[in-house]
Homo-oligomer: A and B are copies of this chain.
Amino acid sequence: MYPQKESRMPTTCPGSVSTQGLHRNHGGGLERECSRNPDQQPPKLYGVGNPTAAFSSDSPHLSSRGSVIKWFWDSAEEGYRTYHMDEYDEDKNPSLSQRDMLRVEPSLLQYPDWRGHLFLREEVARFLSFYCRSPAPLKPENVVVLNGCSSLFSALATVLCEAGEAFLIPAPYYGAITQHVYLYGNVRLVCVYLDSEVTGLATRPFQLTVEMLEVALQGAHSEGVKVKGLILINPQNPLGDVYSPGELQEYLEFAKRHELHVVVDEVYMLSVFEESVQYRSVLSLERLPDPQRTHVMWATSKDFGMSGLRFGTLYTENRDVATAVASLCRYHGLSGLVQYQMAQLLQDRDWISQVYLPENHARLKAAHAYVSEELQALGIPSVSRGAGFFVWVDLRKHLREATLEEEMLLWRRFLDNKVLLSFGKAFECKEPGWFRLVFSDETHRLRLGMQRVRQVLEGKSQVAEDTPSC
Protein backbone atom coordinates (compact mmCIF):
# COMPACT_ATOMS: atom_id res chain seq x y z
CA MET A 1 0.00 0.00 0.00
CA TYR A 2 2.87 2.41 0.41
CA PRO A 3 4.61 3.31 -2.77
CA GLN A 4 1.94 5.75 -3.82
CA LYS A 5 4.22 8.74 -3.98
CA GLU A 6 7.48 7.00 -3.38
CA SER A 7 9.93 5.45 -5.70
CA ARG A 8 10.08 1.81 -6.55
CA MET A 9 12.49 -0.15 -4.57
CA PRO A 10 14.67 -2.27 -6.74
CA THR A 11 15.98 -5.53 -5.58
CA THR A 12 19.44 -5.01 -4.36
CA CYS A 13 22.40 -5.80 -6.44
CA PRO A 14 23.67 -9.31 -5.86
CA GLY A 15 27.23 -10.20 -5.26
CA SER A 16 28.21 -7.21 -3.21
CA VAL A 17 31.41 -7.75 -1.33
CA SER A 18 29.82 -6.11 1.67
CA THR A 19 30.26 -8.04 4.86
CA GLN A 20 27.08 -8.71 6.68
CA GLY A 21 28.71 -7.51 9.81
CA LEU A 22 26.85 -6.46 12.86
CA HIS A 23 27.97 -3.93 15.39
CA ARG A 24 31.43 -2.58 15.59
CA ASN A 25 33.38 -0.12 17.63
CA HIS A 26 34.30 2.76 15.53
CA GLY A 27 36.79 4.93 17.33
CA GLY A 28 39.46 2.53 18.46
CA GLY A 29 39.57 0.38 15.40
CA LEU A 30 38.70 -2.70 17.40
CA GLU A 31 36.08 -4.89 15.85
CA ARG A 32 33.49 -6.29 18.19
CA GLU A 33 32.25 -9.55 16.84
CA CYS A 34 28.78 -10.87 17.34
CA SER A 35 28.82 -13.52 20.00
CA ARG A 36 26.54 -15.73 17.93
CA ASN A 37 28.85 -15.66 14.94
CA PRO A 38 32.27 -16.57 16.26
CA ASP A 39 33.56 -17.66 12.86
CA GLN A 40 32.60 -14.49 11.16
CA GLN A 41 35.29 -12.33 9.59
CA PRO A 42 35.83 -8.92 11.12
CA PRO A 43 33.37 -6.68 9.37
CA LYS A 44 34.76 -4.29 6.82
CA LEU A 45 33.99 -0.63 6.97
CA TYR A 46 33.40 -0.49 3.25
CA GLY A 47 32.42 -2.75 0.41
CA VAL A 48 33.10 -2.66 -3.28
CA GLY A 49 30.01 -3.56 -5.22
CA ASN A 50 30.28 -6.08 -8.01
CA PRO A 51 26.98 -5.99 -9.81
CA THR A 52 27.91 -8.76 -12.23
CA ALA A 53 28.58 -11.45 -9.67
CA ALA A 54 25.95 -14.17 -9.69
CA PHE A 55 24.67 -13.46 -13.17
CA SER A 56 24.57 -16.02 -15.87
CA SER A 57 23.88 -15.15 -19.46
CA ASP A 58 20.59 -16.94 -19.70
CA SER A 59 19.41 -15.65 -23.04
CA PRO A 60 20.99 -16.64 -26.33
CA HIS A 61 19.87 -13.30 -27.72
CA LEU A 62 21.44 -10.94 -25.25
CA SER A 63 24.97 -9.80 -24.65
CA SER A 64 26.31 -10.49 -21.18
CA ARG A 65 25.53 -6.94 -20.15
CA GLY A 66 22.16 -7.32 -21.83
CA SER A 67 21.47 -10.26 -19.54
CA VAL A 68 22.50 -8.20 -16.55
CA ILE A 69 20.17 -5.46 -17.67
CA LYS A 70 17.33 -7.94 -18.13
CA TRP A 71 18.06 -9.49 -14.75
CA PHE A 72 17.40 -6.19 -13.08
CA TRP A 73 13.97 -6.21 -14.62
CA ASP A 74 13.13 -9.84 -13.96
CA SER A 75 14.25 -10.03 -10.40
CA ALA A 76 13.64 -6.51 -9.27
CA GLU A 77 10.47 -5.24 -7.79
CA GLU A 78 8.80 -8.47 -6.86
CA GLY A 79 7.10 -6.56 -4.12
CA TYR A 80 6.08 -3.76 -6.39
CA ARG A 81 4.59 -6.14 -8.90
CA THR A 82 2.79 -8.10 -6.21
CA TYR A 83 1.37 -4.84 -4.97
CA HIS A 84 0.09 -3.88 -8.38
CA MET A 85 -1.46 -7.26 -9.03
CA ASP A 86 -3.69 -6.80 -6.00
CA GLU A 87 -3.67 -3.10 -5.48
CA TYR A 88 -5.55 -1.39 -2.70
CA ASP A 89 -8.20 0.61 -4.51
CA GLU A 90 -10.61 3.43 -3.89
CA ASP A 91 -12.60 5.94 -5.84
CA LYS A 92 -10.44 7.82 -8.25
CA ASN A 93 -9.42 11.25 -7.17
CA PRO A 94 -10.63 14.06 -9.30
CA SER A 95 -7.63 15.66 -10.89
CA LEU A 96 -6.79 19.29 -11.21
CA SER A 97 -5.37 20.86 -14.28
CA GLN A 98 -4.15 24.39 -14.52
CA ARG A 99 -5.38 26.64 -17.24
CA ASP A 100 -3.04 27.06 -20.19
CA MET A 101 -0.92 24.03 -19.38
CA LEU A 102 -1.37 22.55 -22.83
CA ARG A 103 0.54 24.68 -25.22
CA VAL A 104 1.60 23.26 -28.57
CA GLU A 105 3.97 25.66 -30.26
CA PRO A 106 5.92 24.49 -33.30
CA SER A 107 9.21 25.08 -31.49
CA LEU A 108 8.14 22.67 -28.75
CA LEU A 109 7.67 19.93 -31.34
CA GLN A 110 11.04 20.37 -33.01
CA TYR A 111 14.39 18.99 -31.97
CA PRO A 112 15.26 20.90 -28.83
CA ASP A 113 18.50 22.09 -27.41
CA TRP A 114 19.41 18.86 -25.68
CA ARG A 115 20.33 20.77 -22.51
CA GLY A 116 16.67 21.76 -22.38
CA HIS A 117 14.84 24.74 -23.81
CA LEU A 118 16.35 28.01 -22.62
CA PHE A 119 13.03 29.22 -21.19
CA LEU A 120 13.01 26.17 -18.92
CA ARG A 121 16.64 26.40 -17.90
CA GLU A 122 16.11 30.04 -16.98
CA GLU A 123 13.13 29.07 -14.89
CA VAL A 124 15.04 26.25 -13.20
CA ALA A 125 17.88 28.63 -12.37
CA ARG A 126 15.45 31.11 -10.79
CA PHE A 127 13.64 28.33 -8.96
CA LEU A 128 16.81 26.81 -7.51
CA SER A 129 18.26 30.22 -6.63
CA PHE A 130 15.14 30.91 -4.59
CA TYR A 131 14.51 27.55 -2.93
CA CYS A 132 18.15 26.61 -2.41
CA ARG A 133 18.82 30.15 -1.13
CA SER A 134 21.96 30.50 -3.18
CA PRO A 135 24.18 33.43 -2.21
CA ALA A 136 24.22 34.63 -5.83
CA PRO A 137 21.73 33.96 -8.64
CA LEU A 138 22.27 30.62 -10.30
CA LYS A 139 22.89 30.61 -14.03
CA PRO A 140 20.83 28.97 -16.79
CA GLU A 141 23.99 27.92 -18.61
CA ASN A 142 24.87 25.68 -15.65
CA VAL A 143 21.52 23.92 -15.89
CA VAL A 144 20.86 20.75 -17.88
CA VAL A 145 17.35 19.30 -17.78
CA LEU A 146 16.47 15.73 -18.56
CA ASN A 147 13.92 13.00 -17.89
CA GLY A 148 14.72 12.28 -14.26
CA CYS A 149 17.51 11.73 -11.79
CA SER A 150 17.91 8.08 -12.77
CA SER A 151 19.10 9.27 -16.15
CA LEU A 152 21.27 11.89 -14.54
CA PHE A 153 23.07 9.31 -12.44
CA SER A 154 23.61 7.24 -15.58
CA ALA A 155 24.96 10.19 -17.54
CA LEU A 156 27.18 11.55 -14.77
CA ALA A 157 28.66 8.13 -14.05
CA THR A 158 29.45 7.67 -17.73
CA VAL A 159 31.06 11.03 -18.30
CA LEU A 160 33.02 11.15 -15.04
CA CYS A 161 34.27 7.56 -14.79
CA GLU A 162 35.86 4.97 -16.97
CA ALA A 163 34.20 1.57 -17.03
CA GLY A 164 35.01 -0.25 -13.80
CA GLU A 165 35.74 2.87 -11.77
CA ALA A 166 33.69 3.77 -8.75
CA PHE A 167 31.86 6.29 -6.61
CA LEU A 168 31.86 6.28 -2.82
CA ILE A 169 28.40 6.24 -1.28
CA PRO A 170 27.37 6.15 2.37
CA ALA A 171 25.14 3.12 3.02
CA PRO A 172 22.26 2.63 3.58
CA TYR A 173 21.39 4.47 0.39
CA TYR A 174 18.60 4.51 -2.19
CA GLY A 175 19.54 1.24 -3.84
CA ALA A 176 18.42 2.02 -7.38
CA ILE A 177 21.55 4.12 -7.74
CA THR A 178 23.48 0.86 -8.09
CA GLN A 179 21.76 0.20 -11.40
CA HIS A 180 21.74 3.80 -12.51
CA VAL A 181 25.52 4.03 -12.53
CA TYR A 182 26.09 0.46 -13.66
CA LEU A 183 23.69 -0.55 -16.41
CA TYR A 184 24.98 1.86 -19.02
CA GLY A 185 28.03 3.28 -17.29
CA ASN A 186 29.58 0.12 -15.89
CA VAL A 187 30.49 2.15 -12.80
CA ARG A 188 30.52 0.60 -9.35
CA LEU A 189 29.68 1.86 -5.90
CA VAL A 190 31.97 1.60 -2.91
CA CYS A 191 29.78 1.55 0.18
CA VAL A 192 30.75 3.55 3.23
CA TYR A 193 28.92 1.59 5.90
CA LEU A 194 27.15 3.67 8.49
CA ASP A 195 26.48 2.30 11.92
CA SER A 196 23.29 2.31 13.93
CA GLU A 197 25.33 2.61 17.12
CA VAL A 198 26.65 5.98 18.10
CA THR A 199 30.37 5.43 18.35
CA GLY A 200 33.55 7.33 17.72
CA LEU A 201 33.07 10.83 16.41
CA ALA A 202 29.45 10.29 15.51
CA THR A 203 26.74 11.92 17.59
CA ARG A 204 23.68 10.22 16.09
CA PRO A 205 22.83 6.84 14.55
CA PHE A 206 24.02 6.21 11.00
CA GLN A 207 26.08 9.38 11.04
CA LEU A 208 28.66 9.79 8.31
CA THR A 209 32.11 10.97 9.35
CA VAL A 210 35.11 11.99 7.30
CA GLU A 211 37.05 9.23 9.03
CA MET A 212 34.70 6.65 7.51
CA LEU A 213 35.10 8.21 4.10
CA GLU A 214 38.88 8.07 4.40
CA VAL A 215 38.84 4.42 5.44
CA ALA A 216 36.56 3.42 2.58
CA LEU A 217 38.56 5.37 0.03
CA GLN A 218 41.85 3.84 1.13
CA GLY A 219 40.24 0.41 1.27
CA ALA A 220 38.96 0.69 -2.28
CA HIS A 221 42.34 1.87 -3.49
CA SER A 222 44.04 -1.03 -1.76
CA GLU A 223 41.74 -3.35 -3.72
CA GLY A 224 42.71 -1.66 -6.94
CA VAL A 225 39.42 0.14 -7.40
CA LYS A 226 39.76 3.67 -8.66
CA VAL A 227 37.31 6.02 -6.96
CA LYS A 228 36.32 9.09 -8.96
CA GLY A 229 33.66 10.63 -6.81
CA LEU A 230 31.37 10.69 -3.81
CA ILE A 231 27.58 10.52 -3.91
CA LEU A 232 25.71 12.35 -1.15
CA ILE A 233 21.94 12.11 -0.82
CA ASN A 234 20.68 15.10 1.16
CA PRO A 235 18.05 14.85 2.60
CA GLN A 236 19.10 11.26 2.97
CA ASN A 237 17.10 8.33 1.67
CA PRO A 238 16.30 6.04 3.57
CA LEU A 239 17.42 7.73 6.80
CA GLY A 240 15.23 10.82 6.57
CA ASP A 241 18.22 12.75 7.86
CA VAL A 242 19.91 15.92 6.64
CA TYR A 243 23.53 16.97 6.75
CA SER A 244 24.41 20.11 8.70
CA PRO A 245 26.26 22.85 6.82
CA GLY A 246 29.35 21.96 8.85
CA GLU A 247 29.13 18.29 7.90
CA LEU A 248 28.53 19.12 4.27
CA GLN A 249 31.57 21.35 4.26
CA GLU A 250 33.69 18.59 5.79
CA TYR A 251 32.62 16.04 3.20
CA LEU A 252 33.27 18.51 0.40
CA GLU A 253 36.71 19.29 1.80
CA PHE A 254 37.46 15.58 1.99
CA ALA A 255 36.47 15.22 -1.65
CA LYS A 256 38.60 18.18 -2.66
CA ARG A 257 41.64 16.74 -0.87
CA HIS A 258 41.30 13.60 -2.95
CA GLU A 259 40.19 15.32 -6.15
CA LEU A 260 36.87 13.52 -6.06
CA HIS A 261 33.74 14.71 -7.76
CA VAL A 262 30.75 15.14 -5.47
CA VAL A 263 27.32 14.32 -6.81
CA VAL A 264 24.74 15.77 -4.44
CA ASP A 265 21.28 14.30 -4.85
CA GLU A 266 18.83 16.83 -3.35
CA VAL A 267 15.69 15.22 -4.69
CA TYR A 268 13.95 15.60 -1.31
CA MET A 269 15.07 19.21 -0.89
CA LEU A 270 11.55 20.62 -0.46
CA SER A 271 10.31 17.71 1.63
CA VAL A 272 11.86 18.75 4.93
CA PHE A 273 8.69 18.97 6.98
CA GLU A 274 10.07 19.42 10.50
CA GLU A 275 10.64 23.12 11.18
CA SER A 276 13.40 22.41 13.68
CA VAL A 277 15.52 20.71 11.02
CA GLN A 278 17.82 23.25 9.42
CA TYR A 279 18.24 21.93 5.93
CA ARG A 280 20.79 23.59 3.71
CA SER A 281 21.20 22.86 0.03
CA VAL A 282 24.80 22.57 -1.07
CA LEU A 283 23.98 25.46 -3.40
CA SER A 284 23.34 27.67 -0.38
CA LEU A 285 26.91 27.43 0.87
CA GLU A 286 28.85 30.67 0.70
CA ARG A 287 31.83 28.93 -0.77
CA LEU A 288 32.10 25.53 -2.41
CA PRO A 289 35.52 24.00 -1.80
CA ASP A 290 35.69 22.63 -5.34
CA PRO A 291 32.90 24.04 -7.50
CA GLN A 292 34.27 22.42 -10.64
CA ARG A 293 33.74 19.03 -9.04
CA THR A 294 30.41 19.68 -7.33
CA HIS A 295 27.32 18.58 -9.24
CA VAL A 296 23.82 18.94 -7.85
CA MET A 297 20.68 17.12 -8.92
CA TRP A 298 17.03 17.83 -8.25
CA ALA A 299 13.78 16.57 -9.70
CA THR A 300 10.03 16.89 -9.30
CA SER A 301 9.49 13.17 -8.65
CA LYS A 302 9.48 13.47 -4.87
CA ASP A 303 8.99 17.12 -3.92
CA PHE A 304 6.04 17.43 -6.28
CA GLY A 305 4.98 13.78 -6.17
CA MET A 306 5.27 13.49 -9.94
CA SER A 307 7.61 10.62 -10.66
CA GLY A 308 5.66 9.84 -13.82
CA LEU A 309 6.27 13.30 -15.26
CA ARG A 310 9.95 12.50 -15.77
CA PHE A 311 11.71 15.74 -15.01
CA GLY A 312 15.12 16.16 -13.42
CA THR A 313 17.88 18.71 -13.54
CA LEU A 314 21.61 19.03 -13.09
CA TYR A 315 23.29 22.14 -11.77
CA THR A 316 27.05 22.32 -12.23
CA GLU A 317 29.55 25.10 -12.82
CA ASN A 318 31.72 22.67 -14.76
CA ARG A 319 31.06 23.37 -18.41
CA ASP A 320 32.74 20.21 -19.63
CA VAL A 321 30.55 18.09 -17.43
CA ALA A 322 27.42 20.03 -18.35
CA THR A 323 28.22 19.66 -22.03
CA ALA A 324 29.03 15.98 -21.86
CA VAL A 325 25.83 15.29 -19.93
CA ALA A 326 23.91 17.41 -22.46
CA SER A 327 25.40 15.31 -25.23
CA LEU A 328 23.93 12.21 -23.61
CA CYS A 329 20.62 14.00 -23.16
CA ARG A 330 19.67 12.98 -26.69
CA TYR A 331 18.88 9.70 -24.92
CA HIS A 332 17.29 11.33 -21.88
CA GLY A 333 15.25 14.07 -23.51
CA LEU A 334 11.85 15.13 -22.33
CA SER A 335 9.05 16.37 -24.51
CA GLY A 336 8.91 20.05 -25.40
CA LEU A 337 5.32 20.02 -24.16
CA VAL A 338 6.43 18.81 -20.75
CA GLN A 339 9.22 21.39 -20.71
CA TYR A 340 6.60 24.07 -21.20
CA GLN A 341 4.46 22.64 -18.42
CA MET A 342 7.43 22.41 -16.07
CA ALA A 343 8.32 26.05 -16.65
CA GLN A 344 4.72 27.01 -15.86
CA LEU A 345 4.81 25.03 -12.65
CA LEU A 346 8.19 26.23 -11.43
CA GLN A 347 7.44 29.87 -11.98
CA ASP A 348 4.30 29.75 -9.86
CA ARG A 349 6.22 30.47 -6.69
CA ASP A 350 3.29 32.04 -4.87
CA TRP A 351 1.32 28.87 -5.14
CA ILE A 352 4.32 26.70 -4.31
CA SER A 353 5.37 28.68 -1.25
CA GLN A 354 2.00 29.68 0.11
CA VAL A 355 -0.25 26.82 -0.84
CA TYR A 356 1.53 23.70 -1.94
CA LEU A 357 4.52 23.42 0.37
CA PRO A 358 2.74 24.37 3.61
CA GLU A 359 0.00 21.87 2.87
CA ASN A 360 2.41 19.16 1.78
CA HIS A 361 4.61 19.66 4.84
CA ALA A 362 1.63 19.64 7.18
CA ARG A 363 0.43 16.36 5.70
CA LEU A 364 3.88 14.79 5.81
CA LYS A 365 4.34 15.94 9.39
CA ALA A 366 0.99 14.53 10.49
CA ALA A 367 1.63 11.22 8.74
CA HIS A 368 5.10 11.03 10.21
CA ALA A 369 3.80 11.77 13.70
CA TYR A 370 1.14 9.11 13.38
CA VAL A 371 3.52 6.45 12.15
CA SER A 372 6.13 7.33 14.76
CA GLU A 373 3.55 7.01 17.55
CA GLU A 374 2.34 3.69 16.23
CA LEU A 375 5.85 2.36 16.03
CA GLN A 376 6.58 3.59 19.53
CA ALA A 377 3.44 1.86 20.78
CA LEU A 378 4.73 -1.31 19.15
CA GLY A 379 8.08 -0.85 20.87
CA ILE A 380 9.90 -0.48 17.60
CA PRO A 381 12.83 1.94 17.39
CA SER A 382 13.09 4.07 14.28
CA VAL A 383 15.21 6.78 12.76
CA SER A 384 13.89 9.92 11.08
CA ARG A 385 14.64 13.54 11.63
CA GLY A 386 11.82 15.06 9.67
CA ALA A 387 12.75 14.95 6.02
CA GLY A 388 11.57 12.71 3.22
CA PHE A 389 8.63 10.34 3.02
CA PHE A 390 9.86 7.52 5.23
CA VAL A 391 11.08 6.31 8.57
CA TRP A 392 13.94 3.88 8.89
CA VAL A 393 12.65 1.16 11.14
CA ASP A 394 14.64 -1.15 13.36
CA LEU A 395 13.01 -4.58 13.27
CA ARG A 396 16.15 -6.44 14.24
CA LYS A 397 14.54 -7.92 17.29
CA HIS A 398 11.87 -9.43 15.05
CA LEU A 399 14.42 -11.54 13.20
CA ARG A 400 15.18 -14.95 14.60
CA GLU A 401 18.76 -14.54 13.46
CA ALA A 402 20.63 -11.49 12.29
CA THR A 403 20.81 -12.65 8.68
CA LEU A 404 19.65 -11.31 5.37
CA GLU A 405 17.63 -14.46 4.85
CA GLU A 406 15.64 -13.70 7.96
CA GLU A 407 15.24 -10.11 6.87
CA MET A 408 13.81 -11.36 3.59
CA LEU A 409 11.45 -13.74 5.37
CA LEU A 410 10.09 -10.94 7.49
CA TRP A 411 9.70 -8.76 4.40
CA ARG A 412 7.74 -11.52 2.74
CA ARG A 413 5.46 -11.85 5.76
CA PHE A 414 4.62 -8.17 5.37
CA LEU A 415 4.03 -8.65 1.66
CA ASP A 416 1.79 -11.66 2.30
CA ASN A 417 -0.23 -9.36 4.52
CA LYS A 418 -0.40 -6.76 1.76
CA VAL A 419 2.06 -4.31 3.17
CA LEU A 420 5.00 -3.39 0.98
CA LEU A 421 8.02 -2.28 2.98
CA SER A 422 11.56 -2.06 1.62
CA PHE A 423 14.13 -4.29 3.28
CA GLY A 424 17.50 -3.00 4.39
CA LYS A 425 19.54 -5.10 1.99
CA ALA A 426 18.00 -3.13 -0.88
CA PHE A 427 19.78 -0.12 0.61
CA GLU A 428 23.00 -2.06 1.20
CA CYS A 429 22.45 -1.72 4.94
CA LYS A 430 25.00 -3.95 6.61
CA GLU A 431 22.83 -4.65 9.66
CA PRO A 432 20.02 -7.11 8.83
CA GLY A 433 16.61 -6.15 10.14
CA TRP A 434 16.19 -2.53 9.10
CA PHE A 435 13.25 -1.57 6.90
CA ARG A 436 12.10 1.57 5.20
CA LEU A 437 8.50 2.48 5.82
CA VAL A 438 6.99 5.10 3.54
CA PHE A 439 4.30 7.24 5.14
CA SER A 440 3.45 9.69 2.35
CA ASP A 441 -0.07 8.46 1.84
CA GLU A 442 -3.57 9.36 2.83
CA THR A 443 -4.61 8.91 6.44
CA HIS A 444 -7.07 6.08 5.98
CA ARG A 445 -4.63 4.11 3.85
CA LEU A 446 -1.86 4.72 6.34
CA ARG A 447 -4.03 3.50 9.20
CA LEU A 448 -4.87 0.34 7.33
CA GLY A 449 -1.20 -0.17 6.57
CA MET A 450 -0.14 0.26 10.16
CA GLN A 451 -2.85 -2.18 11.28
CA ARG A 452 -1.34 -4.73 8.94
CA VAL A 453 2.16 -3.99 10.21
CA ARG A 454 0.92 -4.54 13.74
CA GLN A 455 -0.74 -7.81 12.76
CA VAL A 456 2.43 -9.13 11.23
CA LEU A 457 4.62 -8.12 14.12
CA GLU A 458 2.25 -9.28 16.83
CA GLY A 459 1.45 -12.48 15.03
CA LYS A 460 5.09 -13.32 14.76
CA SER A 461 6.50 -11.63 17.79
CA GLN A 462 6.34 -14.85 19.78
CA VAL A 463 8.89 -16.43 17.51
CA ALA A 464 11.19 -13.48 17.66
CA GLU A 465 10.99 -13.18 21.42
CA ASP A 466 11.81 -16.82 21.90
CA THR A 467 15.07 -16.40 20.08
CA PRO A 468 17.22 -13.58 21.40
CA SER A 469 18.66 -11.73 18.46
CA CYS A 470 22.23 -10.70 18.16
Q: Which A residues are closer than 8 A to B by beta carbons?
A: 3-5, 7-8, 59, 61-67, 69-70, 72-74, 92-93, 95-97, 101-112, 114, 147-148, 150-151, 154, 158-163, 165, 179-180, 183-185, 228, 261, 292-293, 305-311, 318, 320-321, 323-324, 326-328, 330-338, 341
A392 to B306 alpha-carbon distance, docked (Å): 45
Contact: A69 with B159, CB < 8 Å?
A: yes
Contact B61 A293 (CB under 8 A): yes
Q: How far is the CB of A309 from chain B (nearest CB, A)?
A: 5
Closest Cβ of chain B to A145, distance in Å, is 13
Choose from B148, B183, B228 the contact partner of A333 (Cβ within 8 Å). B148
Given contacts A70-B320, A73-B323, A183-B328, 14 further A-B contacts (CB under 8 A): A62-B324, A67-B324, A70-B324, A70-B327, A73-B327, A97-B103, A147-B331, A150-B331, A151-B330, A158-B184, A308-B335, A310-B335, A310-B336, A334-B335
Structural contact, B61 and A111, CB atoms closer than 8 A = no
Which residue on chain B has the smallest CB distance to residue A147? B333
Residue ID in chain B nearest A114 by CB atoms: B73
- In angstroms, how far is the closest chain B Cβ from the Cβ of A341? 7
Partner of A66, one of B4, B159, B180: B159
Cα–Cα distance between A14 and B159 once the two chains are bound (Å): 19
Taking CB as reference atom, which chain B residue is nearest A153? Answer: B331
Q: Which residues of B contact A110 (CB under 8 A)?
A: 4-5, 307-308
A104 nearest CB across to chain B (Å)? 5
CB-defined A-B contacts under 8 Å, sample of 26: A3-B111, A4-B110, A5-B110, A61-B292, A63-B159, A63-B161, A63-B162, A65-B162, A66-B159, A66-B321, A66-B324, A69-B327, A70-B320, A70-B324, A73-B114, A92-B106, A95-B103, A97-B102, A101-B104, A107-B308, A109-B305, A111-B308, A147-B332, A183-B328, A184-B185, A308-B336
- Chain B residues with Cβ below 8 Å from A63 are 158-162, 165, 228
Minimum distance in angstroms from A246 CB to a CB of chain B: 27
Q: Is the CB of A328 within 8 A of B184?
A: yes
Q: Are A335 and B333 in contact (CB under 8 A)?
A: no
**Which B-chain residue is minimally distant from A84 (CB atoms)?**
B113
Q: Which residues of chain B are near A7, meaning CB under 8 Å?
A: 111
B109 in contact with A307 (CB, 8 Å): yes
Question: Measured between alpha carbons, how far is A104 from B96 in the docked complex, in Å?
Answer: 7
By a CB distance below 8 angstroms, the chain B residues around A328 are 69, 183-184
Question: Which of the listed residues A109, A318, A321 has the most CB atoms from chain B within 10 Å of its own CB?
Answer: A109
Measured between C-beta atoms, what is the minimum distance from A56 to chain B in Å? 13
A65: contacting residue among B148, B159, B293, B305, CB under 8 A: B159
| With contact pairs A73-B327, A111-B7 given, residues A336 and B320 touching in the complex (Cβ less than 8 Å) | no
A28 to chain B, nearest CB (A): 38
- The interface residues of chain B lying within 8 Å CB-to-CB of A5 are 110
B309 lies within 8 A of A337 (CB): yes
Q: Smallest CB-CB separation from A6: which chain B residue?
A: B111
- With A106-B95, A112-B308, A308-B108: A160-B66 Cβ-Cβ less than 8 Å: yes
Using CB atoms, name the residue of chain B closest to A106: B93
A400 to B69, CA, bound (A): 51
The answer to whether B162 and A327 have CB atoms under 8 Å apart is no
Nearest neighbor of A185 in chain B, beta-carbon distance: B184
Interface contact B323-A70, CB-CB below 8 Å: yes
